[in-house]
Amino acid sequence: MKDGRLVQVVASSRGGGATHMLSLSAGLAARSHTVAAAMPSDGGNVHAEDFRQSGVGFVDLGGENESTGSRIRCLSQAFRELKPTLVHAHGSRAALWCRIALRLSGRDTAELICSIHGFATPFYAWPRRLLQSGAMKWVGSGAGAVVACCEAEREALIDAGMAPPDRIVAVPYGIDLKPFLALGQAERVRARAALQAGQEDDIVLMICRLDRPRDFETLLAAFARIADDRPTARLWLVGDGPQRGDVEAMSAGAGQQDRVRLWGFRRDVDAFYAAADVYVLMSWGWEGLPISVIEAQASARPVVVTDAGGSAEGIDPGETGLLVPRRDVSATAAALRTLIDDREHARRMGAAGRRRCEEKFALEHMITRFEELYADARTD
């Protein structure tokens, strides 16, 4: 790709898709590829300056209230000016925008690659599911490759007929592990002091957007069960989103508002991993390969995740974390209780998770895999 022009596009600055696009873009730029990123400035966890500081060109697709039509027109103009040879769309909305914008800009010759970060279409209600499925098949028909972040998502995309099976590939996420591998006991003590937590508190952490498909109801019910006889138990939720009011109401209804803390969006997530004892991610529906689960394991934290989508591929069940059925309060409470009460077991799981991340989820591995994928797209 060093002799081509690559544009990466995501439909929102919120969540894992934007985080992944930033890591990929920055990693490619560090290897001397010419990369630009297009993204709305809609108040998420990834900012325009993050790209610019990494040597990645940036195209602003408008603020939070910008219309879809305006974003597509802006993207089309960017394609005319940048003349990309390859466009990599992240998420189903961005993929649809890119397919339309490439036609409007007259850049149909550019290769289109689509990454689907959590395949939500099968969980939509009728008729939205039908419309979304049709749109995704149209996008897939014009894409050189459709990229899943895990094997579970790849199988779901094949079952949905989004593209021919030989054009649907799985490329697991990779992240910059260094900030998380550096976390140890000294960082734990400092982080707890800075975040005003007791050094003896038992902190359960979840970092996510407060929106579907996260299962806050199951998490809060499970936490209430273990908190009854553990006065030091605390639940921290980092992130924001449309369900924040619902989470606050559920917490108050369970009488846990003094034990549950909502921190909102934070960019210093490494401090929260350092402070936590157990990481948890609850989902009732679709799931790709959660980046936060990788970060937590790299931080040497044991994890509890729902058996949804690719979450099971993010851990080694029984070795680096515990897998629980969807919407199972009893199983979730039992898993949390096990890791809080047996600190040596939790420590061994955390150490195993850190080793696994170094082997499977290093950023360099992912960058190399995408370089190979881009090269194949350009020679097909």
pLDDT, tens digit (0-9, with 9 covering 90-100), for 169-192: 999 999 999 999 999 999 999 999
Is residue 2 very low, low, confident or very high in pLDDT (cuts 50, 70, 90)?
low
Look at residue 254 in the predicted model and tell me its pLDDT.
Answer: 82
Residue 358 confidence (pLDDT): 97
pLDDT above 70 covers a percentage of the chain that reads 98
Q: What is the reported pLDDT for 3?
A: 58
Return the DSSP state at 362: B
Whole-angstrom Cα distance, residue 210 to residue 283?
Answer: 11
How high is the pLDDT of residue 352?
98
**What is the C-alpha separation between 225 and 349, in angstroms, rounded?**
23
- Identify the bridge partners of residue 278 per DSSP, sorted by sequence position: 204
Q: What does the pLDDT look like over 21-67, one tens digit per residue?
A: 999 999 999 999 999 999 999 999 999 999 999 999 999 999 999 99
pLDDT above 70 (res 379): no
Q: How far apart are CA 269 and CA 239, in angstroms?
A: 10
Residues 136-178: pLDDT tens digits? Answer: 999 999 999 999 999 999 999 999 999 999 999 999 999 999 9
Tell me how far apart the alpha carbons of residues 334 and 332 are, in angstroms, rounded to a whole number: 5
List the alpha helices (DSSP H) in the chain.
16-30, 48-53, 68-82, 92-105, 128-141, 151-160, 178-181, 185-194, 216-227, 244-253, 269-275, 291-298, 311-314, 329-341, 343-360, 363-379
For 97-124, the pLDDT digits (tens) are 999 999 999 998 999 999 999 999 999 9
What's the sign of the alpha-carbon dihedral 151, 153, 157, 160?
positive
Q: What is the pLDDT of residue 257?
A: 86
- What's the confidence (pLDDT) of residue 108? 87
CA distance 10 to 22: 10
Categorize the per-residue pLDDT at 307 as very low, low, confident or very high, splitting at 50, 70 and 90. very high
How many angstroms separate the CA atoms of 195 and 189, rounded? 10
Residue 346 has pLDDT above 80, yes or no: yes
Name the average pLDDT for the chain.
Answer: 95
Per-residue pLDDT band at 255 (split at 50, 70, 90) = confident
Q: Is the pLDDT reported for residue 4 higher than 60?
A: yes
pLDDT at 132 over 60: yes
pLDDT category at 256 given cuts 50, 70, 90 is: confident
